[in-house]
């Protein structure tokens, strides 16, 4: 087996390679003067089980094209099997037609990955579980909840004072999974109304959060508006503190500054998206590594072992 990576998350790729006891495969992924992407594999992959790790994070289109071109290069170089490892699957929020005359871009991206030559996909915390069905190849959706639960337990020995909070109704399944791993702790839901993309208005908190240390859990934090509003609403209901655990730290625009100035005690994100210098310098943002999770999933896939048993 061989592990390769594009330019989106070199740090995670190096960490995963170290976990697997190998080095990242040599590939020249560069751009011509007009920004056209060029890929040259610098080692033999004939008959190999190839894994290409690439988050389709900002700039999403560039990183997506890098992955597609790399997959094509592996296919034309006679790799035995190609697995696209996407710690963060971009375009996942466009998983349905919420209004007329709009695309389902998540399905389009799934088609592109398949047609490029990928044989299977390995990803983490899809925005919507049904996106697995958009692929006509085997797709494993990993979950960051076990990693988050271990981190919470390590820092909060008494889980009886903890309450898990979903920032919206759609995230209840994810929140319930975390609550179950924390000795079936109580669950609350923030009821919000989104007026337009990127903006949200918190309407109500369902559940008694008074006197509790609350943990918001979600898959993506982008502008940070939802988290900040939710934290304020929860504290207004009498909670002791609010900490957020989010898998994918997109954190676009002024999101980091918004988090820094918020009522949140801390925002914990994973390194599914490579943290920027601004994120690393933020006092309220901490990065939780998913190296072991991704590395073990790759190892089990290569050895034809169960991946789902990672979450039993």
* Residues classed as catalytic: 192
- 63 is known to lie in a ligand binding site: no
- Is residue 168 annotated as involved in ligand binding? yes
Q: 150 labelled as ligand-binding? A: no
Across the strands, what pairs with 85?
53, 122
Tell me whether residue 93 is annotated as binding.
yes
Task: Say whether 35 counts as a known binding-site residue.
Answer: yes
Is 51 within 8 Å of 43 (Cβ atoms)?
no
Maximum separation of any 2 CA atoms in the chain, in Å? 61
36 annotated among ligand-binding-site residues: yes
194 marked as binding residue: yes
Binding residue per annotation — 223? yes
Q: How far is the C-alpha of 171 from the C-alpha of 219, rounded, in Å?
A: 8
Tallying the residues shown for the chain, one arrives at: 312
Q: Answer yes or no: is 222 a known binding residue.
A: yes
Is 218 annotated as a binding-site member? Answer: yes
**Contact (Cβ atoms closer than 8 angstroms) between residue 88 and residue 249:** no
User: Which residues line the annotated binding site for ATP?
Assistant: 34-36, 93-94
- Binding-site members for Mg(2+) are 127, 168
Binding site, by residue number, is 34-36, 93-94, 127, 168, 194, 218, 222-226
Residue numbers belonging to the annotated binding site for D-ribose 5-phosphate: 194, 218, 222-226
């Amino acid at each position: 087996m061989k592990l390769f990576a594009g330019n989106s998350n070199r740090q995670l790729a190096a960490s995963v390679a170290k976990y697997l006891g190998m080095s990242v495969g040599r590939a020249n992924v560069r751009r011509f003067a007009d920004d056209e992407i060029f890929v040259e594999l610098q080692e033999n992959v004939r008959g190999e089980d190839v894994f290409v790790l690439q988050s389709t994070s900002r700039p999403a289109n560039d990183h997506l094209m890098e992955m597609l071109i790399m997959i094509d290069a592996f296919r034309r170089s006679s790799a035995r099997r190609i697995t696209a490892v996407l710690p963060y699957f971009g375009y996942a929020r466009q998983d349905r037609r919420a209004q007329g005359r709009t695309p389902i871009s998540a399905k389009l991206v799934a088609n592109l990955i398949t047609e490029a030559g990928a044989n299977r996909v390995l990803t983490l915390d899809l925005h919507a579980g049904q996106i697995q069905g958009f692929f006509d190849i085997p797709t494993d959706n990993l979950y960051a909840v076990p990693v988050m639960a271990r981190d919470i337990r390590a820092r909060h020995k008494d889980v009886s004072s903890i309450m898990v909070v979903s920032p919206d109704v759609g995230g209840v399944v994810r929140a319930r999974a975390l609550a179950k791993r924390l000795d079936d702790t109580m669950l609350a839901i923030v009821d919000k109304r989104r007026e337009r993309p990127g903006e949200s208005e918190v309407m109500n908190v369902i559940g008694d959060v008074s006197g509790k240390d609350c943990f918001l859990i979600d898959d993506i934090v982008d502008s940070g508006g939802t988290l900040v509003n939710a934290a304020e609403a929860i504290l207004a209901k009498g909670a002791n503190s609010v900490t957020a655990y989010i898998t994918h730290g997109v954190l676009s625009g002024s999101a980091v500054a918004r988090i820094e100035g918020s009522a949140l005690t801390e925002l914990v994100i994973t390194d599914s998206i490579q943290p920027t210098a601004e994120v690393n310098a933020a006092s309220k943002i901490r990065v939780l590594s998913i190296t072991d999770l991704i590395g073990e999933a790759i190892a089990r896939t290569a050895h034809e072992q169960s991946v789902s048993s990672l979450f039993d």
